[in-house]
Amino acid sequence: MRNWAKLAALVALFGSVYGHQQHPLGDFQEEPETWLSKYGPQIDQPFSGPLAFSHLDYKRCLEDVSAEFDIAVLGLPFDTGTSYRPGARFGPYAIRSGSRRQREARGYSLAWGNNPYEQGSKILDCGDVPIIPFDNALAMDQMEVAYSTLLARPIASNTSVWQQGAALAKDGREHPRIVSLGGDHTIVLPILRALNKVYGPVSVIHFDAHLDTWGGYPGTVTEQSRITHGTFFYIANEEGLVANSSIHAGIRCKLQGLGDIENDASVGFHFITSDDIDDHGVPAIIERIRKRVGDTPVYLSLDIDVIDPGLAPATGTPEAGGWTSREVKRIIRGLAGLNFVGADIVEVAPAYDHAEITGTAAADIVHDFLSMFMSQEPPKPTSLPGMWPRDEL
C-alpha cells in the first residue's frame, strides 16, 4: 500500500506540473480562446490581404449582377496597342499594389477637405476585364461590352450622388461612373464608344506628353491596325465620339511638323504644353481647361507619362521635361465640379519601375479622381490651427 500511495502522489505531481491532469467524464472543458474573442476582426494590414484598390470591397461585377456601386474601379489589362515598350497589361496590378497604404478609414485629405469614402457613394473594386491578348479586334469589343455592362447598372444609392448625371444622360437617369485602370491608352476608344451610347459625344480632358491624335503609323494595312495608343482619338473623332471642346494638358512630344498641330485641331482639341506651367502657372491652366470644356459631359484621361519620368519612370513612352506629380494633383483639384462621366489612368508599366514610385503615384491620383467625383467645386484652402495663416499666402 505504501508503494501505491507513493506512485499516486508522483502521478498527481506530474499532472499538476505539466498540465495533463485527467478530469472525470462530464466535467466542463474550457474552450480555447479564439482570435476573434482575443484580438477582434481579421483586418488587413497595409501590406496584407487580397489585392483590391485601397482595400475596397471586391466583386466580379461583370458576372455578379447583385454587385451594387455608384463608382466602380475597373482594370483593363491591355497593352497590345503600344508603339514602343509594352507591359501596361500589368498596370492595374501595379496601381492596386501602390494603393495598399490607402484605405477608407484613413481617406481624409487636407488638400481636398474630404474623405471620398464618406460622401454617401458606394465605391467598389470590380476587378479586371479578362481581355484576350491575341486578337485586338476581339479585345476592343470585350472592353466596350464590359464598360457598357457596368454603365447600365442602377446606382447603389437611394438618392442622387451626382447632381447633373440624369440630366446629361440620353435616357434621363443617373448612371454609375467608372475609374478605369489601364492598360495602354488604346483602352479609351472602347470606353468612349460605351459612353457615347449614354451621353453622346463627350469633351475629353487629356493629360499626356503626346497628342494621340495621329491618323496612323507606317505599315498600317488593315482597319484594325489603325487603332493604337497614339491614334485612338483620331478614330474616336471619325466615329463622332469626341466633342469639339476637348483639350490636352502637358504636351511635349516630338512632331513630324506643324501639320500634326493642324490635324490635332481638326480632331477637336486645343492643347497646353508642359512649359505653359512655367509661363502661366497652375491657376491659369485650370482656368483654360474649365473654360474649354464648359458644362458639357467630360471624360478625363490621364497618361502617367504626363509626369516627368524622373518621378514616374514606369511607362511605355517616357518624355523628359514633364510636370511633377504635385502639379498634376493641384490641377485635378482645380477641375472639381465639372460634369465628369468617367476617368482613367493609363500606361503604367511596372516592369520599368523601381521602388513602386510610379504605381504609388498612380494610386494617389486615383484617390484624387474619387474626391473629384464627389466634389461640387474645387476645394477651398483649408485653415486649421498650426497651419500657415491663409492671409499670408
- Confirm whether residue 208 is marked as ligand binding: yes
> Which cell is 40 given?
477582434
Q: How far is CA 127 from the centre of its chain?
A: 12
- Rounded CA-CA distance 247/294 in Å is 11
Q: Which amino acid is at 358?
A: T
- Confirm whether residue 206 is marked as ligand binding: no
Q: Which amino acid is at 2?
A: R
3-state secondary structure of 112: coil
- CA–CA distance from 93 to each of 90, 100, 101, 290, 351 (Å)? 5, 11, 15, 32, 12
φ, ψ dihedrals at 302, nearest 5°: -120, 110
Q: Comparing C-alpha atoms, which of 162, 107, 58 is closest to residue 368?
A: 107
Can you spell out the DSSP letters for 344-381? EEE-B-GGG-STTHHHHHHHHHHHHHHHHHH-SSPPPP
Q: Which amino acid is at 227?
A: I
- Confirm whether residue 303 is marked as ligand binding: yes
> Which cell is 186 given?
488604346
Angle at CA 251, nearest 5°, toward 247 and 255? 110
- Confirm whether residue 308 is marked as ligand binding: no
- Confirm whether residue 229 is marked as ligand binding: no
Q: Which residue has the cell 477637336?
A: 268
Q: How many CA atoms lie within 13 A of 58 on its CB side?
A: 11
- Confirm whether residue 20 is marked as ligand binding: no
337: left (phi over 0), alpha (psi -120 to 50) or beta: left
Residue pair 37/104 in contact by the 8 Å Cβ criterion? no
Segments in 127-187 forming alpha helices (H): 136-151, 165-168
Q: Which residue has the cell 474630404?
A: 114
For the annotated binding site for Mn(2+), the residues are: 185, 208, 210, 212, 303, 305
Q: Known binding site: residues?
A: 185, 208, 210, 212, 303, 305
